[in-house]
Amino acid sequence: MTSNTGLDRPHVFLPAEESAAGSPLLLLHGTGGNEHDLLFLRDRLSPGAAVLSVRGTVLESGMPRFFRRLSEGVFDEDDLRRQAEDLADFVLTASAEYAIEKRSLVAVGFSNGANIASALLLQRPGALAAAVLLAAMVPFENPPHADLTGTLVVISNGEQDPMIPAAMTQRLAVQLRERAADVVELPHPAGHQIHPGVLPQISQLVARRERRYGS
């Protein structure tokens, strides 16, 4: 359902089903998408779990994004920092409204959504339990110092992605590992997309994290 509770940012909240055992998901779409695009991932990654799916509020040629860019692949890092703070504040407010346990959300972002998820991890490391980064780039040239100990981060980029060379994927993984994140890389043979072949592995990794650390 779409919220009518005074939380004015466009979003969808799906309450957990009675049979749900997995972590709640924070879904973050790619450029030109919206809060409905990634809802199908609920059944693939955390069946029946609560879902908070949020729309980016920055427009680029009429297409929603989570932050501005100066050109393709060149981010406006000042705006990125502001937007990451705004998103973190919204997530805290929405979590309280919808009774989502603090630090239980697993962010799942695609492309621009993956990049704002990385920024959120680095700027507000206590806001998320884990992150799944699909078609992710490096958000910051000089990322903030953050303690990500015990935070699972899955990076799944395409080996044929024209936007994200392998060196950039490795740089992102190194930045997160330097901050003590538990990084798992799941490359796939395709391009800039969500590859269905990696979703079962991601689901298993998220479930394993729950058993180790609790939801």
User: Known catalytic residues?
Assistant: 111, 161, 192
- Which candidate, 57, 53, 77, 73, places its Cα nearest to that of 65? 57
Please name the amino acid found at residue 104: S
61, burial (CB in 10 Å: exposed 0-12, middle 13-18, buried 19+): exposed
* Pairing state between β 25-28 and 106-110: parallel
- Number of C-beta neighbours around residue 192 at 10 A: 16
Output the DSSP codes for 80-141: HHHHHHHHHHHHHHHHHHTTPPTT--EEEEETHHHHHHHHHHHH-TTS-SEEEEES-----S
* Residue 54 three-state SS: strand
- Which candidate, 167, 88, 158, places its Cα nearest to that of 122? 88
